A and B are shown apart, each in its own frame.
Chain A
Amino acid sequence: GDSVTQMEGPVTLSEEAFLTINCTYTATGYPSLFWYVQYPGEGLQLLLKATKADDKGSNKGFEATYRKETTSFHLEKGSVQVSDSAVYFCALSDRGSQGNLIFGKGTKLSVKP
């Protein structure tokens, strides 16, 4: 079945450091790919998405590019802030599905001042 594998955490960075969180997927079809973020005490929020190969999703300085050849959707940010501390989830939704999401296990990011 479909699955998502993402980098194990926790990840601890200093403010202004470069962030990469790796995500790879397995899918029988041609999925849409998402990054969701969960800030402390809050619900999951959509951070960015991409629906076809080579699409780049971006939001709040975060970017991820849909790479079909490597089945990857790595999350990057050039300069992290303390306010980016959260748990990040990579997810996919199969084309033709009702929209239910398959999530990775999540990566906890802590940014120190």
Chain B
Amino acid sequence: GAGVSQSPRYKVAKRGQDVALRCDPISGHVSLFWYQQALGQGPEFLTYFQNEAQLDKSGLPSDRFFAERPEGSVSTLKIQRTQQEDSAVYLCASSLGQGWDTEAFFGQGTRLTVV
């Protein structure tokens, strides 16, 4: 597709359930980012991939959060044993290059609600 695609758009999970969120970046984009956006807040960085390598996972809030991009394209963010505080919109972004001045293209996000 032309843009970054995320699925599902909405996910309701019971507390303690595991969830997997998918991101299809723009074809050929080297860099991929995951962000978490709580209600009324700006997005906060979770993790960064350059191709298949996860180079920065400093923003992951706990070891219940895990991300992968095994073939350097599609990425999955997995949250184990979901908690209510995990409720947020999860955004994926990709960019053609790497570095501080490259434009990031965002998906529409997955809204996760933990009940």
Contacts and interface: CB of A to CB of B under 8 A. Distances in A.
Q: Is the interface of A mostly helix, strand, loop or mixed?
A: loop
B8 interface: no
Given A44-B43, A98-B56, A100-B48, A32 B103 contact: no
B104 A105 contact: no
Given A43-B108, A44-B106, A98 B43 contact: no
B106 A102 contact: no
B40 interface: yes
30 contacts: A32-B100, A36-B106, A43-B4, A43-B91, A43-B106, A43-B107, A44-B43, A45-B106, A49-B101, A49-B103, A89-B43, A91-B42, A98-B48, A98-B50, A98-B55, A98-B98, A98-B99, A98-B100, A99-B31, A99-B98, A99-B100, A99-B102, A100-B45, A101-B33, A102-B45, A103-B42, A103-B44, A105-B40, A105-B42, A106-B42
